[in-house]
Chain A
């Protein structure tokens, strides 16, 4: 085994992509702090070029005020590692609610938010939203009805559970 020269031990250890992913995974969603931005699937890629850390960020809903907060929290976290952040905002159709991780979906459900149903080939219809099988995050019943397509934030709609007589927030599928 070759012993590295002493000088190498005194240098700041080089950043790795895993380090970056790890700090990003600790950043909570500003509006739904039960899940992290990595669980949310908005970080598409991380690349390193020396100290420069390039992050591809795919926003959720375009009018979501949390996006700017996420971006500045990512920059802070990367600077905390000694890196120079470059956040590239990718505005195309590559983010979908399908990108929320399985773990993230369970965290949402546990916090009382029904996770989104999978994206289908065709966009959703009113019939599906009214008659589809949407499960209450509180009691698990699928005897629920649509109250309002829109909710407290762009990403959620409101449903009511006939089983436990509780309203709940349902993630929209996009």
Chain B
């Protein structure tokens, strides 16, 4: 596997898996606006994943669906942060904001890549991610301003912090430390990142569910 395919898969798998996790709120979010927001964010993330899988598929001589769905759990390159099943609001918001903040840093670096095709896609993705970041920050501000919300959010952020660091390569992590610390106005604990390459047990369950329809159809079925 080339370095380029590895990079594309890391970003695409993050977006696909988190898109799936976000879609788990469809129909059951605390109120209708968030039901719509998380569903729409999920749709965007899966759209980004698809575009990146197309590039991978072209390099590997296959199609995007095969890349997205036909791998074994250990072959995914997603970060453990996006794999966690977190159907609890404070943790959902904590994960959403930590991921979007890390993803913004990653996109900034990809937009400056000398791989012009990847830089162009990153720029396009970033136009949509702006709205995800505004949404996540709006929720962080809201919870931080609430006597009940703040401790719950802070606890969730501390729990997920090692996972958030694991989304980025080593050289981009200090930027995440700075941005998250500045927003929360405190120093984050100095912890070992939960690195990409390790997988949460929940990933296999997610993939089992996500690929069940595809696996039930005969090979070569057209959708």
Q: Which residues of A contact B (CB under 8 A)?
A: 61-64, 91-93, 95-96, 123-126, 129, 147-154, 158, 172, 174
Do the beta carbons of A62 and B134 come within 8 Å of each other?
no
Given A63-B45, A154-B128, 6 more contacts at CB 8 Å? A92-B124, A125-B134, A129-B134, A148-B33, A150-B131, A172-B131
State how many angstroms separate the Cβ of B110 from the closest Cβ of chain A.
12
A174 and B127 within 8 A (CB): yes
Interface residues of B, count at CB 8 A:
28
Q: Closest B-chain residue to A93, C-beta based?
A: B123
Can you report 9 residue pairs joining A to B where beta carbons are below 8 Å apart?
A63-B48, A91-B124, A93-B123, A96-B127, A123-B127, A123-B130, A149-B37, A150-B37, A150-B131
Main secondary structure of the interface of A (DSSP, over half): loop
Question: In the complex, are the beta carbons of B40 and A154 less than 8 A apart?
Answer: yes
Chain A: minimal CB distance from B85 (Å): 22
Cα distance A143–B211 in the bound complex, in angstroms? 47
CB distance from B26 to the nearest CB of A (A): 12
Q: Are B134 and A61 in contact (CB under 8 A)?
A: no
Q: Which residues of B contact A153 (CB under 8 A)?
A: 40
> Which of B33, B40, B137 gathers the greatest number of chain A CB atoms within 10 Å?
B40
Chain B interface mostly helix, strand, loop or mixed?
helix
Given known A62-B47, A63-B50, contact A151–B121 (CB-CB < 8 A): no
User: Which residues of B are at the interface with A, using a C-beta cutoff of 8 A?
Assistant: 33, 36-37, 39-41, 43-48, 50-51, 117, 120-121, 123-125, 127-128, 130-131, 134-135, 137-138
Query: A64 to B47, Cβ gap below 8 A?
Result: yes
- The reply to whether B120 and A174 form a contact with Cβ atoms under 8 Å apart is no
Chain A residue nearest to B138 in the complex (CB): A126
| Chain B residues, Cβ within 8 Å of A125 | 134
Partner of B134, one of A64, A95, A124: A124
Answer whether A151 and B40 are a contact pair too, CB < 8 Å, given A61-B47, A62-B50, A124-B130: yes
Specify which chain B residues have a CB less than 8 angstroms from the CB of A96 in the assembled complex. Answer: 127
CA gap between A93 and B40 in the complex, in Å: 20
CB distance from B174 to the nearest CB of A (A): 23
Q: Inside 8 A of A61's CB, which chain B residues have their CB?
A: 44, 47, 128
Interface residue from A62, A151, A154, A172 paired with B51 (Cβ < 8 Å):
A62
**Which residues on the B side are within 8 Å of A91 (C-beta)?**
51, 117, 120-121, 124
Given the contacts A62-B48, A91-B121, A149 and B43 also touching, CB distance less than 8 Å = no
